A and B are shown apart, each in its own frame.
Chain A
Amino acid sequence: MKTLFASLILLFAAGAQGQLDDPKEEARAQDLMREIRCVACENEPISNSASDIAADMRERVRAMVADGQSDEQIRDWFAERYGEFVLFRPRPGGAGGLLLWGTPFILLLAGGALVYVLRRHGGGRREPVEPVPPEDAGSP
């Protein structure tokens, strides 16, 4: 019911197909629409979905962008209203967010360090390594 009410307000706030006049603002709104999940569909951002609720959510994004709210404020608003589930860009704070965002970079650094330590020194002896041009061993 709340949603219906919000969408009614939104219908008055912006035209049915209304794109924002300022192309920079419209681009920002479209970027946000690509990272907010439609709550009625399977794994679709609201930018793609043809459902009515997605259209309402798009209008809400545009209205908030036009209102001068920051990306962070808009994301927070949607997360508060529909749950974290609605954000395709999970927030670093919530639900193991640090694990999710940190792991790739930690793996890269740890892996790099491991390779550096384990690289072959010729059985531990510090003998000079003779370079072999790639062509000498055939092609790549």
Chain B
Amino acid sequence: MIEAGHFAAFLALVFSGLQAGFGLAGDRARSGLFAKIAFTTMVFAFLTLVWAFARSDFSVELVASHSHTLKPFGYKIAGTWGNHEGSMALWCVVALGFAASAAWLMKSDRPAFEARTLGAQGLLSFGSLAYLLFASSPFTRLDPAPLQGQGLNPLLQDPALAIHPPMLYIGYVGYSFVFALAAAGLIEGRIDRQWATTARNWALAAFVPLTLGIALGSYWAYYELGWGGWWFWDPVENASLMPWLIGAALMHSIIVTEKRGSFSAWTALLAVLAFCFSMLGAFLVRSGVLTSVHAFAVDPLRGSLLLAGLLVFGGAALLLFALRAPKVSGGPSWTAASREGALMGNNLVLTVATATVMLGTLFPLLAEALGETISVGEPYFNLTFTPIMALALIALPVVQAWAWGRADLSSLWKWAAGFAGLVGLFWLAGIGPLDIPLLAGFGLALGVWLVFGAAQEIWRRAKTAARLPKMPLRVWGMTIAHAGLGIFVIGAVLQTSGRTQTTLALQEGESQPVAGWVVQLEDVSSIEGPNWYADRATLSVRKGSARSELQPQKRYYPAARMPTSETAIHKTGTGDLYVALGDGRRNREGETRWTFEIFHNPLIDLIYLGVALIALGGGLSMAGKRTRTSNRTGETA
């Protein structure tokens, strides 16, 4: 069976080569056909892998080293992409899937352009498949087959992490298609309004899953690592944040190209960069050049191959850009205080923020090459990334009402007064009843400001309540995404300023006050699961009449020889009471004390609600009817 899959993957390689060849030669029909065939064969190849995992066929090396008969069935399936080779196979499926759906969805009204898009995407798929087959083949047999597998990394035996990689990959690979669109547009010398209308939807198709993928990864880290935090500015997290930030910039730049025919070259550059950062992300995660809490599968040779791929594809695209960019500029003139200027400001901030994340992530490597070992972590990003992003967030509600070309600035003072008033209000409340630092007060005001700004913007457009439901989905999408950003900011600020961490050492029966709650250790018992055993503590938490029971565990997976922590979270309504179990220690008197890390995370769900709203906004925006654009102002020389 697995041999058939191996053969099918080879066929997919050949077909994607044909897709690339015919596409670049301008044959839309044949290129599309081969894209669909390549996708079908690759899906078959992938399914043979899934089948091998489902049946625990340990004669397949990949299954033997990453699965185990005792593993729950769902995680056996998810184990297919929970490792390097399998995840690359998934990457190829998604890359071919984008090509096949484009071949199916694109209306053939610009056959030459569509052919070149499919051709460029074919080249990328061809490269990915070649890497899969020759550098990290998942189809290798083991002889003799072992009787038992070595198990999956137990940290990954988790529902959020089972769907996190596919989401992230749809995002990463989705940008490969946007990249292909940009390459084709540059070859044709036409990055115009029609191009932007097409590319915008594909960019959203990458942005939404990438957003969800990052959120799932963050949520997983929150409850699985037992550290009480949701974002650690870890290299692997940063690797996924960079394409997201560039993708967000692209989404805004593409609007200017679509509506006005301006920013064409810049939009094309961002489209190229979004995928370059996706590949950089894959390289950083897979090469192991950076130490990370999330790095699960590392191999320097594969790392260098991925880096070579990044340099070849990125370099070729940037060369193409340099040659063609002068051909694709145009559009009506604009002043600094205009909608164009505002969106350019958005792009400036987002690209500088991306550069900052990249600098902070790669700087330790750079310093190491020069013989210094330094660390760059959370405090650095809090002092650089955060204030730079804050600039854009302060401006957002004000500038989103600006007109194209030249804005009317007569109401600017009202906005300034409004923002100052809001910050003042939070500062007064902060000194008084809330007891929060000034910076946190400013942050909360900023979050509220964004939510208010989003509501104000849709009201400004609709003018009456009756017209609200009739507003286009795109406008609703934008409004919801911007409001989500505000809610996210509120959640993030509350976490940064309001989170408390307490370490307790308790004997059975003992209790301690934590964050207004009384925590009592009832007992600690040993339990056993299908492929793990654990110490499980039972704690009761009380506040007034409210009472709840929490059961954090410390698990041990013998097959992987690895401990994990299963945190317990009590949703109090105003936040999370989060408990991670540590070690038990016996003292001289023979009493055993168990250590607990207890966090109180006020309203942390706002972070995930905010991000979910951003993704929802993107989805609505994509579902909205395409605005028909003529190429009136978009004609390029």
Within 8 Å CB of A116, what residues of B? 336
A135 interface residue (CB < 8 Å to B): yes
Contact B377 A45 (CB under 8 A): yes
B611 interface residue (CB < 8 Å to A): no
Contact B336 A94 (CB under 8 A): no
Within 8 Å CB of A129, what residues of B? 332-335, 338, 405-406
B458 to chain A, nearest CB (A): 11
CB closest residue in chain B, given A103: B359
Q: Known contacts A17-B503, A107-B352, A115-B348: does B380 contact A100 (CB below 8 Å)?
A: yes
Contact B333 A138 (CB under 8 A): no
Q: Give chain B interface residues in 331-357, CB to chain A under 8 Å.
A: 331-336, 338-341, 344-345, 348-349, 351-352, 355-356
Within 8 Å CB of A45, what residues of B? 377-378
**CA of A119 to CA of B331, assembled, Å:** 12
B462 to chain A, nearest CB (A): 10
B288 to chain A, nearest CB (A): 11
The listed residue (B340, B367, B370, B474) touching A139 by CB distance below 8 A is B474
Contact A120 B367 (CB under 8 A): no
Contact A104 B359 (CB under 8 A): yes
Within 8 Å CB of B624, what residues of A? 139
Q: Give chain B interface residues in 210-252, CB to chain A under 8 Å.
A: 225, 227-229, 232, 234-235
For the complex with contacts A45-B378, A105-B388, A111-B351, 20 further pairs of A-B residues with Cβ separation under 8 Å are: A19-B503, A37-B377, A43-B291, A84-B373, A88-B377, A89-B380, A101-B383, A104-B356, A115-B336, A119-B336, A119-B340, A129-B332, A133-B404, A134-B339, A134-B401, A134-B403, A135-B461, A138-B627, A138-B629, A139-B474
A111 to chain B, nearest CB (A): 5
A88 to chain B, nearest CB (A): 3
The listed residue (B262, B345, B360, B363) touching A120 by CB distance below 8 A is B262
The listed residue (A89, A104, A112, A131) touching B385 by CB distance below 8 A is A104
The listed residue (A100, A122, A140) touching B255 by CB distance below 8 A is A140
B502 interface residue (CB < 8 Å to A): yes
**CA of A117 to CA of B357, assembled, Å:** 26
The listed residue (B235, B335, B367, B629) touching A119 by CB distance below 8 A is B335
Contact A96 B344 (CB under 8 A): no
The listed residue (A85, A108, A120, A140) touching B375 by CB distance below 8 A is A85
The listed residue (A88, A101, A121) touching B333 by CB distance below 8 A is A121
Chain B residues with CB under 8 Å of chain A are 225, 227-229, 232, 234-235, 255, 259-260, 262, 291-293, 331-336, 338-341, 344-345, 348-349, 351-352, 355-356, 359-360, 363, 366-367, 370, 372-380, 383-385, 388, 400-408, 461, 472, 474-475, 478, 501-505, 582-583, 595, 624, 627, 629
Contact A35 B377 (CB under 8 A): yes
A50 interface residue (CB < 8 Å to B): yes
**CA of A100 to CA of B380, assembled, Å:** 9
A68 interface residue (CB < 8 Å to B): no
A55 to chain B, nearest CB (A): 9
The listed residue (B232, B349, B351, B367) touching A96 by CB distance below 8 A is B367
**CA of A44 to CA of B234, assembled, Å:** 9
Question: How many chain A residues have a CB neighbour from B under 8 Å?
Answer: 54
Q: Known contacts A42-B293, A115-B348, A137-B260: does B403 contact A30 (CB below 8 Å)?
A: no
Within 8 Å CB of B334, what residues of A? 119-120, 129
The listed residue (A101, A111, A130, A138) touching B405 by CB distance below 8 A is A130
Among B234, B374, B388: residue with most chain A CB under 10 A: B374
Within 8 Å CB of A61, what residues of B? none
B234 to chain A, nearest CB (A): 6
The listed residue (A34, A87, A115, A122) touching B374 by CB distance below 8 A is A87
A95 interface residue (CB < 8 Å to B): yes
Within 8 Å CB of B335, what residues of A? 119, 129
8 cross-chain pairs, A with B, having the tightest CB-CB distances, nearest first = A88-B377, A122-B333, A89-B379, A132-B404, A95-B372, A104-B356, A131-B403, A48-B227
Contact B344 A115 (CB under 8 A): yes
Q: Known contacts A90-B376, A95-B372: does B474 contact A108 (CB below 8 Å)?
A: no
Contact B583 A88 (CB under 8 A): no
CB closest residue in chain B, given A115: B344
Within 8 Å CB of A57, what residues of B? none
**CA of A129 to CA of B403, assembled, Å:** 11
Contact B372 A84 (CB under 8 A): yes
Contact A19 B388 (CB under 8 A): no
Within 8 Å CB of B503, what residues of A? 17, 19
Within 8 Å CB of A8, what residues of B? none
Within 8 Å CB of A133, what residues of B? 403-404
